[in-house]
Amino acid sequence: MEVTVSIYGKELKGFKKEINKATLETCKKINKKIKLEDFAIVYEENPQMCIPGFGHGGKTLSAYLIYIYLNPKFKNFKNKVIKEEIPRAIAHEIIHLVRWNLFKPMQKNLLHTIIEEGLCQHFELEVFGENSKLYPWSMALKENEIKKYLKRAKKYFDSRDISLIYSWKFGNKKLKIPRWAGYSLGFHLIKKYLEKTNKKVSEIYRLDAKKIFDELNI
């Protein structure tokens, strides 16, 4: 497994050594759980693409390419973002990466998105420990809200409408969908699946979303 790292941004290049170190250490750790093919990670200095309130953001663009957006002006960037957030972001995006070519475009609907985001979040915990901090998107819905929003989401599980999928991921006030509802549902569903099967994400990441959901009998 070879990882090609590219760093873009005048200020960001000042952290080249630290970013490379965090990247390679994380990828080696992940490769022990999931055998990776060669791929590339592009780090871009782009605060506008970072998650609001965080110094980073991530996106997988193909089966071989991950983009991670960074804000080098973010408070405690070196010790907080590079050492803590970059490794988590890589672990998260790796699941998107390795699942990219496993499923046809017709299969990439709302259910696929919700389940995959759940797999990504739980893989972070598998790599860095079950006691690792949970991000707000994992807990966007309270326990008593899960059933309510799952019932609503199920009506659209087969939809491949990007705007609808984005609404469930990032929220939509008009549709009364809370921010990060899809991430929270995915986290809950995969948690249930892992408990039921006594497996790890590294053992089930290749499974189709429908198979996972159907086995939960919800």
What pLDDT was estimated at residue 192?
Answer: 98
Rounded to 5 degrees, what angle do the CA atoms 23, 29, 31 make? Answer: 95
Q: Give dist(CA 218, CA 215) in Å, integer.
A: 8
Same domain, 46 and 119: no
> Which long-range CB contacts under 8 A does 21-25 form with residues at least 24 apart?
22/82, 22/83, 22/86, 22/87, 23/86, 23/90, 25/87
> Which long-range CB contacts under 8 A does 181-184 form with residues at least 24 apart?
181/140, 181/141, 181/149, 181/153, 182/110, 182/113, 182/114, 182/117, 182/153, 183/117, 183/118, 183/121, 183/137, 183/138, 183/140, 184/137, 184/138, 184/139, 184/140, 184/141, 184/146, 184/149
Single-letter amino acid code for the residue at 191: K
Q: Give dist(CA 66, CA 201) in Å, integer.
A: 20
What's the whole-model pTM score? 0.96
Same domain, 198 and 121: yes
Residue 113 tokens read as 């998105």
Same domain, 21 and 62: yes
Asked if 193 and 212 count as a contact pair (C-beta separation under 8 A), the reply is yes
Among 99, 123, 143, identify where a domain stops.
99
Same domain, 177 and 87: no
- Block means of pLDDT (10 residues each) for the chain, 218 residues, are 97 98 98 97 98 96 97 96 98 98 90 98 96 94 96 98 97 98 98 98 98 96
Among 80, 99, 118, identify where a domain stops.
99
What pLDDT was estimated at residue 106?
Answer: 81
What pLDDT was estimated at residue 47?
Answer: 97
Same domain, 132 and 212: yes
Q: Give dist(CA 160, CA 111) in Å, integer.
A: 9
What pLDDT was estimated at residue 104?
Answer: 86
Same domain, 116 and 194: yes
What pLDDT was estimated at residue 199?
Answer: 98
| Mean pLDDT value across the chain | 97
pLDDT tens digits, one per residue of 71-100:
999 999 999 999 999 999 999 999 999 999
Same domain, 140 and 44: no
**What range does the domain containing 62 cover?**
3-99
Among 99, 121, 148, identify where a domain stops.
99
Same domain, 85 and 13: yes
Same domain, 73 and 131: no
Q: How many domains does the chain have?
A: 2
Terminal CA-to-CA distance of the chain, rounded, Å?
39
